[in-house]
Amino acid sequence: MRLDLTKRSDYAIRAMLSLTMVGGGLLSSRKIAEEMKIPPRFLPQIMGDLTRAGLVEAHPGRAGGYKLAKPASTVTLLTVIEAVEGDPHRQICVMRGTPCGADGECGVHDVFFAAEGAILEKLSGATLQSIIDAYRAKLAVAAAG
């Protein structure tokens, strides 16, 4: 079983982590793309979605860029994913390939529904700040060791 993010979600999370690391300062889209290895042609679309969702503020102009619109301690991975993907709940039955419940529930519905719930719960508990803090702590341990 594979649990992969779409490229859109992957790039959105990377962009938001980049903005978190600067601690409230502005970053240009070019800088975000360079630092986070995001193809520059995709970034404006991603940043537009994040701006419309109220997660990022765009500051146009030569000295402009992007910054977080909310404290990193309040923005979860689930919020970021929902901003670029929409509702993350599975709509199609894993066994039948049709909408869940359209013709009853398959035998594994409850198990997959519970697994999906656990993933969404984990994503809603992981804030941008907690991810950056954990990453910096790992770097500190590695540097000390």
- Report which of 23, 29, 12 is spatially closest to residue 66, judged by C-alpha positions: 29
| CATH of 7-144 among 3.30.530.20, 3.40.50.1820, 1.10.10.10, 3.40.50.10800 | 1.10.10.10
pLDDT tens per residue across span 83-111:
999 876 666 676 666 676 656 677 777 88
Confidence of residue 38 (pLDDT cuts 50, 70, 90): very high
Domain limits, the chain: 7-144
Phi/psi-derived region of residue 28, left when phi > 0, alpha when psi is between -120 and 50, beta in every other case: beta
pTM for this prediction:
0.85
